[in-house]
Structure 1
Amino acid sequence: MVTWQYHHYDKGMNKRMGHGKSGRMYTPVLAVGMILALLLSASCSGNSSPSAAGDAGTSAPGGKPESKPPDNKQPDGKPQEPLEIQMTARLFEEVPNMDNAYWKEFMKRTNTKLNIEWIPDGDYTTKLNLILASGSIPEVLVINNLKHPPVVNAVKNGAFWDLTPFLGDFSKYPNLKNFSAPEAWVTSRILGKNYVIPKNRPQLSGGPKIRKDWLDKLGIPMPQTLDEYRSALKKIVDADIDGNGKKDTIGLVSKASLFTGSAGGFGDAFGMGKPTFNQEGGLIYETLTPQYAELVAWLRDLYADGILAKEFSVMKPTQAVELFEAGKAASLVNESFRWDYIFMGNIKKVQPEAIVDTVPPLQGPGGYAVRYSTGVDGAFLISKKVPEEKVKRILDFLELTNSKEYYDFTVNGIEGVHFNKVNGEIVLTDQHKKEVGSTSPWQPIALYYDKYGKLTTPAAPKEYNDAKIKQVEAQGYFQKGIISPFSVIDSPTWLATWPKFQQEWTSMSVKAIVGQISLDDYKAYVKKVNDDPNIKKAYQEFAKDYKETFGK
């Protein structure tokens, strides 16, 4: 059982479900690096993960789908016009052609016309800030971080509908109730109310990817600890592993911002997510704890060893992936296990012997490198400019598509076009890659919750997916992962205060990692931040919410 910092997940969440506090906010708190606009846009949630987010897969939990065809008739019996929705969406691949066979069928089945502005994930936060600042908000706005201050401020200012009265007891929305992530409707609240429709994602992402063929070539066993991981990467970068005579292989690149501490789960290996209190009894934010300083020291060692990419602080997610797929990097921090197979196939085009695997939960001095999320990765907000009757139709659309039926459709596409059944197994066609892709179909919908969604991929044979699930289960990923309390608790003072320090803190973290300042200088800076009166006030608020939420 995954724990909430030594409390069972069900125990803590059931307490909150049964004894919720009116007007409280139970939404994720995420640190976002802001040293540059690029870095700001690269550090998405977190919890994410990353990442990235947007992953799903082929294996889904049991449960009878409750989807039903949309009611396409008006009260007078005449056909109802398609629901036209103006929406933003995060883009993790090529911009999809909304006129292709898949999207035409999707809109036909849902009786919709989707007008989507696709925004690259690496640029999403920057674009989101511009949208909120301008007031030119689409009918449905996707957010990638529920605690992002501009988002919370826009909610406070009445820019979006409070959906709590619409949802009621969820009797009209059984799919959204039953097929969302555990406690998603609690952990996604803003200002204590359901302003958003949460986007569901598997709670378990994955550890760093590694070139197992290179480990085998050098006779290095699969790393089990942070020290072994560092040692293995050092041996790879010191060897002419790709045979080009230059010894120019990069040890580690990251698709997610390493400053969140959750990327790769590295911070949790130092105990970053474990509750840490100051002398006044305030709960210190996780990236300002002594444990996080240990993470900075470890990254500093990786940088000094020539393992960590020199441009790590400003590297875009796409650049990190490109380096790994080109066979230029030994390890990549990415958001899910399912990409092992996809990355391996792409690398094989340039290095046919490539084998990509995810490292086991790496043990560190304070825990394991595993970050377990709430299962909510971003959300939909509906603009207050949308008429009430249209809000109801949008909710009906999200209810309809939050089912196993639509989940399977978004994964596989149309039978005979995007997949065929061979001996009872689904085999994807070349048309699938062109028209369905890997992640785009999941962006306009809340997505049926799948525990194993980030472990499997429709691109891989069933045997590979089954083996991946067994491997991850055997490695103890589900047991060793923890959920940081900062994924749930909040502090109004923190939201107002932290943005004033965020950019400087990120800059100081970079300087400490690259050796421009000493670790003592970095720790002295962190102490100065922690001694700020407003930060101390925020820590008291965190502690109060932690005690009320978890009973400790």
Structure 2
Amino acid sequence: MPNLTHRPLTRRAVMRAGALAAGGIAVGATSVACTTSDGGDQVPLGGTRDVEQIDFPTYQQFAGVAPDFPASVEGGVEGFLSYPRDAGEPLPPPGGGISASALIALGGKPQVPLADSTYWQQLNTNLDCELDVQSIPPGQFTAKVSTVVAGGDIPDIMEIPGNLPMDLPRLLDSTFEDLTPYVTGDAVGDYPYLANFPQTAWRSCVYNGKIYGIPSVSRLLQRFMVVRSDLVERHGWNDRPADATEMVELFTAMAAVGRDSFAGTASQLFALCLPMFGAPNGWRATDDSFVFNIETEEYKEALACVTQLWADGICHPNSFLTEQQIVDWFGTGAIATYAGAGVGYRGMLTANHTINPEMGMGFVPIPRAEGGGPAPAYVTSGRNTMAVIRKSDPERVARLLGIANYMAAPFGTPEYLFLNYGVEGQHFNWDDEAGLPVRTKKGDTEYMGNLVYIARPPTVLFFPNHDEVTEADWANEKVVIADQVPPGDLGLYSPTETTKGPGLLRDVTNRQWDVIQGRATMEDWDATVQRWRDGGGDQMREELIAAREADQ
């Protein structure tokens, strides 16, 4: 049995958190002014936004189970070929008998009420906490959070939606707990599962020079090229293109198989071309400013490339009608590649493999357009969403962090097994031949997958019956992630981007598809980019510049 170094939430941890919260931690003495979301006067919020000055939580990689394929970089994925069935003892219950409330998005099926859910009841027993979870459908979640904030009835733990139409730094400063004293440096060791979060994930939870959020950790590698490996082998395609010319040749070969064969949809091929031509991953930071990706020549080069692919019949002709059929198209071979993210490809393969057992899945390093190795990899901010804790006394905050720590349990721990499968004999049974936990019908019904919106552990690669795919994904990441392109505005906040950005980008995206289909010219594209600048893009830039200058 592996030797797990579990550390309970002790009274010492609670008292230390209280002492730190009372005395404060010096994370920089510079004041910062934050522009209000309506473009009004700047309002001092205190602290500093310089993420480089923060003593981030000390990364303590979970060592309780040994992966078959270790991560190549901090925050990279580990790969497993079997489920670690005997992974030690669980942590002591963290809740201390408190009652607590949480507001998070609903992750799919309706939530079974507490009175009818033995899974939820056992969760509360494991936590030693009466946890009341309110789950809201994703399409209604932002409006719900806005209403809750306006009414002042704030839950103990709340997921923050990415498109919340309000001044987030001001809201955090006034309503939610500064978690920096509780998790900074080695203090995070009191929450060993949160200590397993890479520092990248914590960086994107910083506002006003303080760590406010508990990240729902995302896979670091943001975008990668997935291919039908069986088709690559059957047709002898070059799956290691050296430059843009060879990449286009690969796309062309994919579309040349038959009358109903295409490389991919236009949007998927465009997503692969952007890093190939070196377009920024969102904003690019320069010495004195910021440049958004749509403003760059590299972006236009990728757009021109896909426009030609469309004209040459390389893209699926229904690319702009729907992408809901992409799973079927990939399974039948109508398209041979797409831009992967996370581990979503597992559903793609599972959905098609029973119909086509010969179907294989592989990964192709995206090359630099001019050659010279793989293109720098787009990487994420380190998190999908984040949860925050309402201001409270230090002991209660420490307890709530302990609950989040439970939700962050890594793959292989007893907590992870419960959170994902429930109670053995009720919610799951072991398939001894395969060595896997398998949910029962009751387990599928009661499972609360949206608890990851309180805290999500780092992604691991584990794909039963497809060990070759696990190894191939891990090997591809090891090659491509050595050179990374993070978002250039990481750690900075633009109110205008939050309030106006999504609407402005809809106009940009529509014109982008018009250009690809030949309904608009590059001159029309330039005019669209200027409209984006005038409509709020330049204001976003100025806000990012001001935020960065406040750090210096």
TM-score greater than 0.5 by the shorter chain: yes
Structure 1 Cα separation of the partners of residues 298 and 173 of structure 2: 39
Which SS does the other structure have where 1:208 is aligned?
strand
One-letter amino acid of the structure 2 residue matched with residue 459 of structure 1: P
Q: Would you say the 8 A contact 1:373–1:487 is kept in 2?
A: no
Aligned to 1:397: 403
The percent of aligned pairs where both chains have the same amino acid is 16
Structure 1 Cα separation of the partners of residues 500 and 88 of structure 2: 45
Aligned to 2:471: 467
Aligned to 2:517: 514
One-letter amino acid of the structure 1 residue matched with residue 510 of structure 2: S
Structure 2 Cα separation of the partners of residues 402 and 297 of structure 1: 43
Question: Which of 195, 203, 210 is matched with 1:193 structurally?
Answer: 210
- The offset of 1:388, in angstroms, is 8.9
Distance 1:347 1:159, change over 3 A: farther
Aligned to 1:235: 253
- The offset of 1:390, in angstroms, is 6.4
1:202 aligns with 2:241: no
Distance 1:326 1:375, change over 3 A: same
Q: Would you say the 8 A contact 1:340–1:357 is kept in 2?
A: no
Q: Would you say the 8 A contact 1:65–1:175 is kept in 2?
A: no
Q: Would you say the 8 A contact 1:88–1:138 is kept in 2?
A: no
1:251 aligns with 2:269: no
Distance 1:220 1:526, change over 3 A: same
Encode CA deviations 1:235-288: one digit per residue, 9 max, x unaligned. 333433xxxxxx33453249xx869x8x55x4222222288689x953212232
Question: Which of 480, 487, 490 is matched with 1:487 structurally?
Answer: 490
One-letter amino acid of the structure 2 residue matched with residue 350 of structure 1: I
Q: How does 1:261-276 map to 2 (within 5 A)?
A: 263-264=271-272, 266-273=273-280
Q: Which has the higher contact order (CA 8 A, sep 6+)?
A: 1
Which SS does the other structure have where 1:472 is aligned?
helix
Structure 1 Cα separation of the partners of residues 448 and 252 of structure 2: 34
- The offset of 1:303, in angstroms, is 2.9
One-letter amino acid of the structure 1 residue matched with residue 260 of structure 2: D
Structure 2 Cα separation of the partners of residues 438 and 519 of structure 1: 50
Q: How does 1:92-107 map to 2 (within 5 A)?
A: 105-107=122-124
Aligned to 2:105: 89
- The offset of 1:18, in angstroms, is 7.1
Where structure 1 has 5 or more consecutive residues not aligned to the other structure, the ranges are 1-16, 28-54, 74-79, 241-246
Distance 1:251 1:464, change over 3 A: closer
Distance 1:227 1:349, change over 3 A: farther
Which SS does the other structure have where 2:482 is aligned?
helix
Structure 1 Cα separation of the partners of residues 390 and 369 of structure 2: 45
Structure 2 Cα separation of the partners of residues 173 and 438 of structure 1: 28
Q: Would you say the 8 A contact 2:167–2:495 is kept in 1?
A: no
Q: How does 1:166-181 map to 2 (within 5 A)?
A: 167=182, 169=184, 170=187, 173-175=190-192, 178-181=195-198
Aligned to 1:142: 159
1:427 aligns with 2:431: no
Q: Would you say the 8 A contact 1:25–1:490 is kept in 2?
A: no
Distance 1:447 1:500, change over 3 A: closer
Encode CA deviations 1:39-91: one digit per residue, 9 max, x unaligned. xxxxxxxxxxxxxxxx997599xxx9997322565xxxxxx36x453432353
- The offset of 1:231, in angstroms, is 3.3
1:350 aligns with 2:355: yes
Which SS does the other structure have where 2:464 is aligned?
coil
Encode CA deviations 1:459-508: one digit per residue, 9 max, x unaligned. 346x547633652255x122133213223344456556646733332332
Q: Would you say the 8 A contact 1:161–1:381 is kept in 2?
A: yes
Distance 1:432 1:297, change over 3 A: farther
Encode CA deviations 1:483-542: one digit per residue, 9 max, x unaligned. 132233444565566467333323322222222111132124324544x49644643554
One-letter amino acid of the structure 1 residue matched with residue 402 of structure 2: D
Which SS does the other structure have where 1:268 is aligned?
helix
Q: Would you say the 8 A contact 1:209–1:333 is kept in 2?
A: yes
Aligned to 2:239: 222
Distance 1:168 1:212, change over 3 A: closer
Structure 2 Cα separation of the partners of residues 438 and 520 of structure 1: 52
Encode CA deviations 1:171-211: one digit per residue, 9 max, x unaligned. 68533652222143332123433332211223124513211
Which SS does the other structure have where 2:224 is aligned?
coil
- The offset of 1:397, in angstroms, is 0.8
Structure 1 Cα separation of the partners of residues 405 and 321 of structure 2: 39
Q: Would you say the 8 A contact 1:209–1:332 is kept in 2?
A: yes
Aligned to 2:310: 303
Structure 2 Cα separation of the partners of residues 229 and 161 of structure 1: 49
Q: Would you say the 8 A contact 2:329–2:335 is kept in 1?
A: yes
Structure 2 Cα separation of the partners of residues 412 and 465 of structure 1: 23
Aligned to 2:508: 505
One-letter amino acid of the structure 1 residue matched with residue 471 of structure 2: A
Q: How does 1:373-384 map to 2 (within 5 A)?
A: 373-382=380-389
- The offset of 1:398, in angstroms, is 0.4
Structure 2 Cα separation of the partners of residues 519 and 439 of structure 1: 48
Question: Which of 119, 122, 126 is matched with 1:109 structurally?
Answer: 126
- The offset of 1:163, in angstroms, is 3.2
The size of the alignment, in residue pairs, is: 467
Q: Provide TM-score, normalisation by structure 1.
A: 0.68
Q: Between Structure 1 and Structure 2, whose CA radius of gyration is higher?
A: 2
Structure 2 Cα separation of the partners of residues 526 and 144 of structure 1: 27
Encode CA deviations 1:424-464: one digit per residue, 9 max, x unaligned. x84243649963999926624413335xx2xx125346x54
Structure 1 Cα separation of the partners of residues 476 and 251 of structure 2: 22
Structure 2 Cα separation of the partners of residues 211 and 96 of structure 1: 36
Question: Which of 363, 368, 393 is matched with 1:363 structurally?
Answer: 368
Distance 1:110 1:154, change over 3 A: same
Which SS does the other structure have where 1:252 is aligned?
coil
- The offset of 1:356, in angstroms, is 1.5
Distance 1:339 1:107, change over 3 A: same
Q: Would you say the 8 A contact 1:67–1:175 is kept in 2?
A: no
Structure 2 Cα separation of the partners of residues 441 and 283 of structure 1: 35
Structure 1 Cα separation of the partners of residues 487 and 244 of structure 2: 20
Which SS does the other structure have where 1:142 is aligned?
strand
Structure 2 Cα separation of the partners of residues 314 and 127 of structure 1: 26
CA RMSD after TM alignment: 4.7
